Amino acid sequence: MTRFWEDIEVNVTFPLGEHQFTAEEIIDFGKRYDPQYFHTDPEAARFSHFGSLVASGWHTIAVGHRKMVDALYAEAERLKSLGAEPGLSGPSPGINFMQFKHPVRPGDTLTYSMVVASKRPSRSLPGWGILFNHLQATNQNGVLVYRGEVVGFTKMRHTPLGARIAMTLSKLPGLGWIAGRRNGQ
Amino acid sequence: MTRFWEDIEVNVTFPLGEHQFTAEEIIDFGKRYDPQYFHTDPEAARFSHFGSLVASGWHTIAVGHRKMVDALYAEAERLKSLGAEPGLSGPSPGINFMQFKHPVRPGDTLTYSMVVASKRPSRSLPGWGILFNHLQATNQNGVLVYRGEVVGFTKMRHTPLGARIAMTLSKLPGLGWIAGRRNGQ
């Protein structure tokens, strides 16, 4: 969430809301990014191994990411309305795993949620911490559709002295600008 | 590629072509699936850790997936034009890792490629094999932008006898339909 790294609680489930997948939306995403016939052609999809049109796994993930970002921004607004300073989310160095467990068919409503499974200070970006975010969605029958671990940087409220020195050094000519130039963890 | 599992060569790089990312396209994807300000607002993005507008990592991946699917279909057409029978791609059980190594900025042209790093028969879907596909993209300066391993099912030309018996049994009432109902590897 958009909280400072120090304030982020581990192993607390954060609901991200629901999304119903229509055939139109499944086909639209399929035509853009995953034009396999079982994502774009309802008739032909009946004869696929899925037995019907299904959403691209990338579509299922992208909607979940959108819901996570919406939740981050809503949380920032909530904190500001309470007079608190929200944190700052940074780039993502990547995905540690993503599992597609069950097909998403037209009319399915997915319930998304996330948990910060663990966190640690970044070794490459001084003043930033790393979050290991577990995302998942279940369908209207409670069946797990996908689950995965996405890694993300988030700003620390208090930058350790060593990190502050490293940041200052990194801004000197010839030493490069560390932040935004290196995506290592 | 859309070849039968037996015919797929391991450790051969398959070029997937290029894509230039425009600011408009970066913002369009950002507004749909990743509305963080550094993906949607060129002015505000100047003050982000990236220093400019950058493409969402999901956008970079989705374009790569599109290019892979286009290559699969083109390869199937090529095989058909030679009088050969193309194979059949199946579902993906997931992603084993995905690393975002460098930002993608407006005007960047990425060159995508894939390699089947390894393959083995599926343990859960009789008659299907598993491919471990390594995808990556480099920008116009030769800098690696992302790399990852995506797992995919692909049909075998010859289904082993044991697998044929299992498939027949799985179609009897009460035993369920294995294919399409289980996404395990």
Q: What is the pLDDT of residues A77-116, one digit of tens each?
A: 999 999 998 888 888 999 999 999 999 999 999 999 999 9
Confidence (pLDDT) at A166: 60
Task: Indicate whether B25 belongs to any domain.
Answer: yes
Cross-chain Cβ contact B98/A102 below 8 Å: no
Global pTM reads 0.86
Residue with token string 């550094």: B38
Which pLDDT does position B113 carry in this prediction? 98
| Amino acid at site A168 | T
Say which residue the tokens 């200070």 belong to.
Answer: A121
- Chain B residue nearest residue A145, CA to CA: B183
pLDDT at site B145: 98
Distance CA A93, CA A182 (A): 9
Cβ contacts of A35 on chain B, cutoff 8 Å: 66, 69-70, 73
Res B110 pLDDT > 70: yes
Q: Within a domain: residue A184?
A: no
User: Where residue B13 sits, what CATH number does that domain have?
Assistant: 3.10.129.10
CB neighbour list of residue B131: distance below 8 Å, 6 or more residues apart: B5, B8, B116, B119, B151, B152, B153, B154
What tokens were used for A52?
């019907």
Contacts of B70 in chain A (CB under 8 A): 35
Q: Give the phi and the psi of residue B30 in degrees, each rounded to 5.
A: -55, -45
Q: Which residue of B has its CA nearest to A97?
A: B96
Residue of B21, B66, B149 best to disrupt the A interface, most CBs of A under 10 A: B66
Has residue A179 been placed in a domain? no
Identify the CA nearest to B150 among candidates B82, B76, B89: B89
pLDDT attached to residue B90 = 82
CB pair distance less than 8 Å for A58 and B58: yes
Question: pLDDT grade, residue B155 (50/70/90)?
Answer: very high
pLDDT at B172: 53
pLDDT of B168: 60
Whether residue A185 is contained in a domain is answered as no
What pLDDT, on a 0 to 100 scale, did the predictor assign at position B69?
Answer: 94
**Cα distances (Å, whole numbers) of residue A76 to A1, A52, A115, B33:** 8, 40, 17, 19
Per the CB < 8 A criterion, the answer to whether B94 and A97 are in contact is yes
Question: Chain A interface residues facing chain B, Cβ-Cβ under 8 Å?
Answer: 32-36, 48-51, 56-58, 61-63, 65-66, 69-70, 72-73, 89-103, 146, 148, 179-180, 183
In a domain, A82, yes or no: yes
Residue in the block written with tokens 């966190």: A119
Q: How big is the CA angle at A9 (ends A7 and A12), to the nearest 5 degrees?
A: 150
How much of chain A, in percent, has pLDDT values that exceed 90?
Answer: 72
Q: For residues B65 and B55, give the distance between their C-alpha atoms in angstroms, rounded to a whole number.
A: 15
- Residue B116 placed within a domain: yes
Which residues in B lie closer than 8 A to residue A141 (C-beta atoms)? none
Question: Nearest CB to A97: which of B49, B95, B183?
Answer: B95
Residue-wise pLDDT for A20-50, tens only, equals 999 999 999 999 999 999 999 999 999 988 9
CA distance A34 to A42: 14
Please compute the mean of the pLDDT values over residues B76-95 and round it to a whole number.
90
A176 falls within a domain: no
Cβ contact B8:B116 at 8 Å: yes
Which three-class secondary structure state does DSSP give residue A90? coil
The number of distinct structural domains making up chain B is: 1
Parent domain of B134: 5-170
- Please give the order of strands across the beta sheet that includes B128-138: A13-20, A109-121, A128-138, A144-155, A94-100, B94-100, B144-155, B128-138, B109-121, B13-20
DSSP β-bridge partners for residue B114: B14, B135
Report if residue A183 sits inside a domain. Answer: no
Instruction: Quick: pLDDT tens for B7-25.
Output: 999 999 999 999 999 999 9
CB B93, CB A100: distance < 8 Å: yes
Please tell me which of the candidates A94, A101, A180 has its beta carbon nearest to residue B49. Answer: A180
In tens, the pLDDT along B117-143 reads 999 999 888 899 999 999 999 999 999
- What is the complex's ipTM, to 2 decimals? 0.85
Please choose, from the candidates A110, A86, A100, the residue with its C-alpha nearest in 3D space to the C-alpha of residue A50: A100
Across A50-69, average pLDDT: 97
Lowest mean pLDDT of A1-5, A8-12, B65-69, name the range: A1-5
